[in-house]
Amino acid sequence: MQPQHARNDAARLRATNVRTALVLLTIALVFFGGVIAARFMGGWTTGISVVGFAVFVFLAFAIGRNLRSPK
Amino acid sequence: MSSIPHDRAAAGHGTHDDHAHHPTGLMRWVTTTNHKDIGTMYLWFSFTMFMVGGVMALTIRAELFQPGLQVVHPEFFNQMTTLHGLIMVFGAIMPAAVGFANWMIPLLIGAPDMAFARMNNWSFWLLPPAAILLVTSLFVPGGAASAGWTLYPPLTIQQGMGMDLAIFAVHIMGASSIMGSINIITTILNMRAPGMTLMKMPLFCWTWLITAYLLIAVMPVLAGAVTMLLTDRHFGTSFFNAAGGGDPVLFQHIFWFFGHPEVYIIILPAFGIVSQIIPTFARKPLFGYASMVYATAGIAILSFIVWAHHMFTVGMPVAGVLFFMYATMLIAVPTGVKIFNWLATMWRGAMTFEAPMMFAVGFLFLFTMGGFTGLVLAIAPIDMQLHDTYYVVAHFHYVMVAGSLFAFFGGVYYWLPKWTGTMYDERIAQIHFWTSLVFFNVAFFPQHFLGLAGMPRRIPDYAQQFADWNMVSSIGAFGFGLSQLLVLYAVVKCIRGDGAKAPAKPWEGGDTLEWTVPSPAPYHTFETPPVVR
Ligand SMILES: [Cu+2]
């Protein structure tokens, strides 16, 4: 058997990895959706808005998380 | 390995019993989640695609051996140029880089495996179906896609179902690359051994980290572009269809927003490999490590603001032309920093010239040439003359073949002892290097002359005046193609154990973590993380 702390470490690493992956996946999806949306609704302003909005939401999430659980 | 403590090895045994009896034979490869197995599969897949794309290149060169039409129909010739480009970029070079990443990144940062081992398996196994789609598209009615690898509309909106298969293949390969990139970034950010700070990482990890970010930013853009092509073709939209009010030029903007960073996606991992090889064989630490990291990041950032240098002849405002011209020239600065650092690493080093070093030095010469012709092409008024000529073909083959491919060959010889436990045959490797170097230049150097004289690319026939250099180029191409059987022979020889047994550290100057584990690298490494001081 693995000692408890090792299992906790593994679980924490797993959670960190999943979090990193989700952030990266979001970036990819925003670029994919953004380029199509920009063209579909016309104009580069839409594209910039999509990316800007995504950055804003991302920042809000990142800051919000830290507000809830201060280290 | 003896320096690495094993105090947790016994404790870890109970959870790893699934590793002890993994399947054998074919099922081992289908189900494997081991980064070394997956790296091996990527590299073999890449080599197979290199052969397939190579046969297509030789078909092109056979047709161009003489003026007039001899070997293939013009339609088929266009399918060959298109598929050769798609297969070499997405099937050969990119998977080779991912193969190196899979094998080496965990070993270089002291991690037991990639962060997402099962996703890793999936990202590999997406590739063979995509390759099958591309190759079998040759046999559907109307043949394969034939509008060039850049897939410009309106041609791509008009072609037959071969184009749909190509679009689908690009989607699948894009998904595979994005998953691979997520895996690589997560591994590098979260799984480094204690003490392995980012600024202590071997440079190969740095170049791949930055490459992976580039991939995540631009592969979705390409996927979006080809998705819009697909809906234009089948679902009545008019994104790029001028007849319905769409804008075909916009596709070019989107494509090259992907396409230019793609060039760096292809070359940065090669930079990383060269940055591992040169210090080892110069027996000196890499000169200017931090500046190498910043130069790599600088190249990546600049790569996003230069795309329209591919479109000078399309027409754009003078301010746009000037911006893209100067931005492109600016890339020579961080690239120059790298070249300088490699030279400075070799300066007064105790150098030896085994095959990996030969390929690295060959890379330095030839990649720099490709870089210089890139600078020439960046000058807008010159580009107006040279656009769509063989000068461009010569330029990017110096970057892709003598750049990336040579670095990858260097990497293969450098790490073969670690992968197989057997030293490669130095004589064969040296012959492989010299024949590759000579035939590469015989094939591609004359294409500069042809381009300057005005020979257009992607055309199966040409004027009499181009005949001599085309003949020379074709001879070089066939020589280059045949030379590649040597690397296959050298690798197979190693795998069969035919050669000297490789010690854990076959290269005197190697000081990265992979040389601390035995050769061949055991199936599982660094389950107890090494401590980096
Ligand atoms: Cu470019």
Domain regions of chain B by residue span? 36-516
Is B310 catalytic? The answer is: yes
Complete DSSP assignment for B315-369: ---HHHHHHHHHHHHHTHHHHHHHHHHHHHHHTT------HHHHHHHHHHHHHHH
SS3 of residue B531 by DSSP:
coil
CA-CA distances (angstroms) from residue B75 to B135, B159, B161, B164, B460? 16, 12, 15, 17, 9
Please compute, for residue B429, the number of CA atoms within 13 A of its CA located in the half-sphere on the CB side: 25
- CB contact under 8 Å between B11 and A6, yes or no, is yes
Query: Ligand 1 centroid to A57 CA: how many Å?
Result: 32
Task: Kindly tell me the sign of the dihedral angle through the C-alpha atoms of B38, B174, B97, B345.
Answer: negative
Which residues, at least 6 apart from B106, have a Cβ–Cβ distance to it below 8 Å?
Answer: B35, B112, B113, B114, B187, B191, B525, B526
Of B14, B185, B218, the CB nearest to A2: B14
- B92 to chain A, closest Cα gap in Å: 23
- CB contact under 8 Å between A32 and B116, yes or no, is no
- CB contact under 8 Å between B219 and A28, yes or no, is yes
- Taking each helix axis from N to C terminus, what angle separates B35-63 and B117-125, rounded to the nearest 10 degrees? 20
CATH architecture, range B36-516: Up-down Bundle (1.20)
Report d(CA B439, CA B432) in Å as an integer.
Answer: 10
Burial class (CB within 10 angstroms; exposed 0-12, middle 13-18, buried 19+) of B288: middle
Which residues, at least 6 apart from B490, have a Cβ–Cβ distance to it below 8 Å?
Answer: B413, B416, B424, B425, B428, B429, B432
Residue B275's nearest CA partner among B436, B411, B419, B416 is B411
| B360 neighbors B280 (Cβ within 8 angstroms) | no
Is B291 catalytic? The answer is: no
User: What are the chain B neighbours of A28 within 8 Å (beta carbons)?
Assistant: 178, 182, 216, 219-220
Instruction: Report, as ranges of residue numbers, the positions in chain B whose pLDDT lies below 50.
Output: 1-18
User: What are the chain A neighbours of B223 within 8 Å (beta carbons)?
Assistant: 32
Is B420 catalytic? The answer is: no
What is the ipTM, given to two decimal places? 0.83
| A51 neighbors B242 (Cβ within 8 angstroms) | no
Report d(CA B162, CA B156) in Å as an integer.
Answer: 10
SS3 of residue B137 by DSSP:
helix
Tens-binned pLDDT, residue by residue, of chain A (71 aa): 556 666 778 888 899 899 889 988 988 998 888 888 877 776 666 666 776 777 777 777 767 766 655 44
Per-residue confidence (pLDDT) for residue B13, from 0 to 100: 39
DSSP category for residue B307: G
Report d(CA B309, CA B258) in Å as an integer.
Answer: 13
- Taking the model in full, what pTM does it have? 0.91
Ligand 1 is a single-atom ion; what residues have CB below 5 A from it?
A: B 260
Task: Kindly tell me the sign of the dihedral angle through the C-alpha atoms of B167, B168, B169, B171.
Answer: positive
DSSP category for residue B147: S
Which residues, at least 6 apart from B25, have a Cβ–Cβ distance to it below 8 Å?
Answer: none
SS3 of residue B144 by DSSP:
strand
- B247 to chain A, closest Cα gap in Å: 10
SS3 of residue B169 by DSSP:
helix
Please compute, for residue B249, the number of CA atoms within 13 A of its CA located in the half-sphere on the CB side: 8
Report d(CA A60, CA B242) in Å as an integer.
Answer: 41
SS3 of residue B111 by DSSP:
coil
Chain A interface mutation, best of B8, B190, B230, highest count of A Cβ atoms under 10 Å: B190
- B15 to chain A, closest Cα gap in Å: 7
Residue B244 main-chain phi, psi, to 5 deg:
-105, 15
| B69 neighbors B460 (Cβ within 8 angstroms) | yes
| B526 neighbors B514 (Cβ within 8 angstroms) | no
Report d(CA B345, CA B50) in Å as an integer.
Answer: 32
Q: Is B176 on the interface with A (CB under 8 A)?
A: no
Q: Which residue's structure tokens are 């085309």?
A: B470
**Cα angle vertex B238, ends B235, B241, to 5°?**
115
Which residues, at least 6 apart from B61, have a Cβ–Cβ distance to it below 8 Å?
Answer: B443, B473, B474, B477, B478
DSSP category for residue B500: P
Chain A interface mutation, best of B221, B237, B527, B528, highest count of A Cβ atoms under 10 Å: B221
- Taking each helix axis from N to C terminus, what angle separates B248-282 and A4-41, rounded to the nearest 10 degrees? 150
Per-residue confidence (pLDDT) for residue B242, from 0 to 100: 86
Complete DSSP assignment for B173-233: HHHHHHHHHHHHHHHHHH-PPTT--GGGS-HHHHHHHHHHHHHHHHHHHHHHHHHHHHHHH
